[in-house]
Amino acid sequence: MHLKIDLGKIWDETDFYRLSLRTQRNAYKMRKRYTLRKLCIAIVDLLLLLLATQLASSVVLTPTINAVQHFTGPTVFSITAYLFFFYIFELYSSSIISRWRESLFRIIWSFVLGFVGTGFIFYSLGHWQYPQWVFLLQAVFGAALLASWRWLYLRYFRHPVLQENALIIGSGKAGSDLLELLAAKPNPFSIQGLIDDDPNKLHQSVKKVPVVGNSGQLEDLARQTKAQHIILAVTHDRTEALMQKLLQLRLGGIQIHEMAAVYESLSRSIPAHHIQERWILFESGFDILCRPTIQQAKRVIDTVSAAVLLIVTSPLLLATAIAVKLDSPGSALFRQTRVGLNDKEFTLYKFRSMRNDAEKNGAVWAQENDPRVTRVGKWLRLLRIDELPQLLNVLKGDMSLIGPRPERPEFVRQLEEELPYYYIRHLVRPGITGWAQVNYPYGATVEDALRKLEYELYYVKNMSVFLEAKIVLKTLGVMIFGKGAR
């Protein structure tokens, strides 16, 4: 079927983003597919934990006993606790699943902490517990079964069974970044080649993927490669002729994706250098910016939570202040100017983790193994205890519990000049923890700031109760493993 459509009459920005809405729905379907994969992994984990419980009770007691029926309370509680720690330790993250040693390490830690935590509760409640050997063997069998299952998954099931052929339009930076992401993440695409109108790039390769033709050959190449998907990785220079061909292919049954939508779906971040103002204008999401009631409700939750946390952690706060004072001269509390909501500057509070003269020559990025960090400060940063005084900032309204990390004015001016859409992160209250903090290590360069900005844009666009809860759980995992501390 060959369609003749006069785009000169009907094509405008709104029409383009009607087509873009289809790419968003396609990205949602792709994200749903991988959410289903993670759910299947969790279901197998649950079944293996039930099996471990039954095996433990059969060995210690009698093979005829039904552990779930006779020990319903402790079985439900212990299995829930183990699954909780699996989630905290990111055992459902594709980046962890793909690394066997890392998975094994986290599985062991999950069972150790789950065993200690549930054991403390079990034996504090004398009427609600397993026989001790059942409880111990449940953890041992569970760890062995889970480790074996994850090894089998990594070896035989990690890669998608059904990948569909796809072409990428654009072999520049956007196309290269997308190929790098596709190589690192499980995805539903089998990339058959790149399309680019630069004749010098023909038959060249980008990330081992060849440039197979130009946009004028798009229909023939789609047919030859049996492509079911086309990904548009061209940020600028989207000509009317190119959009004409994409529309014809879309109406002919081929799914069209924008690079930004695919990137967001797979990485849970937004490629700041590969979007434009019109993308933000027409894109769904950003509810936190257009619905004041969301920010008001978030503020109430922040205030109550910060007050409770200050009371609960008050002994730790006192002990930390004493340790900082004894370790090095200077004030225990460190004050620093940061940029917050609507570019308003405020004073941020932290426990001092560096020498008192750390910035005698001016503001500089913190470095890995920074020599200015004190002995106590190293542990405070590793466990994130140095951030606890920021609960005072939350009570004052300068910050939220969750949001983009506030940056210093000196760095903000530099980053606003170098990074696109950096200002968006200042349209919400900064947070003690955030989506960027649990997904990316401590930033010490402009490139790091760009990667963190991509996660922060994702947070602002997709903020929800579920995402906030996910950040809280991931933060616990970061604190336990000390990921990204400097």
What Cα–Cα distance (Å) separates residue 7 from each residue in 12, 41, 142, 172, 423?
8, 47, 61, 26, 35
Tell me whether residue 4 is in a domain: no
pLDDT at 142 over 90: yes
Distance CA 290, CA 276 (A): 19
pLDDT at 219: 92
The whole-number average pLDDT for the span 132-153 is 91
pLDDT at 457: 95
Tell me whether residue 182 is in a domain: yes
Count structural domains, the chain: 3
Distance CA 11, CA 23 (A): 17
> Does residue 385 sit in the same domain as residue 368?
yes
Main-chain dihedrals φ then ψ at residue 155, nearest 5 degrees: -80, -35
> Does residue 462 sit in the same domain as residue 383?
yes
> Does residue 338 sit in the same domain as residue 460?
yes
pLDDT at 2 over 50: no
Q: Which of helix, strand or coil describes residue 252?
A: coil
> Does residue 268 sit in the same domain as residue 390?
no
What single string gives the DSSP state of each residue in 183-197?
HHS--SEEEEEEE-S
pLDDT digits (tens, 9 = 90+) for 50-66: 999 999 988 888 777 77
What Cα–Cα distance (Å) separates residue 361 from each residue in 185, 358, 364, 378, 411?
42, 8, 9, 22, 15
* Residue of 292 and 209 predicted with greater confidence: 209
pLDDT at 243 over 70: yes
* Residue of 355 and 227 predicted with greater confidence: 227
pLDDT at 440: 87
Name the residue range of residue 185's domain.
162-274
pLDDT digits (tens, 9 = 90+) for 167-179: 999 999 999 999 9
> Does residue 102 sit in the same domain as residue 185?
no
> Which pTM does this prediction carry?
0.78
> Does residue 317 sit in the same domain as residue 440?
yes
Q: What b/e sequence results for 245-264 when a residue is b if at least 16 CB atoms lie within 10 Å of its CB, and e otherwise?
A: bbbbbeeeebbbbbbbbbbb
Q: What b/e sequence results for 133-142 when a residue is b if at least 16 CB atoms lie within 10 Å of its CB, and e otherwise?
A: ebbebbbebb
Whether the Cβ atoms of residue 206 and residue 179 lie closer than 8 Å to each other: yes
Read off the DSSP letter of residue 153. Answer: I
Read off the DSSP letter of residue 354. Answer: B
pLDDT at 295 over 60: yes
pLDDT at 482: 59
Of 113, 136, 157, the one marking the end of a domain is 157
Q: Which of helix, strand or coil describes residue 357?
A: coil
Tell me whether residue 394 is in a domain: yes
pLDDT at 25: 59
Tell me whether residue 5 is in a domain: no
Banded model confidence at residue 455, pLDDT cuts 50, 70, 90: very high
> Does residue 183 sit in the same domain as residue 262?
yes
Tell me whether residue 81 is in a domain: yes
The whole-number average pLDDT for the span 470-474 is 88
> Does residue 197 sit in the same domain as residue 232?
yes
pLDDT digits (tens, 9 = 90+) for 385-407: 999 999 999 999 999 999 999 99
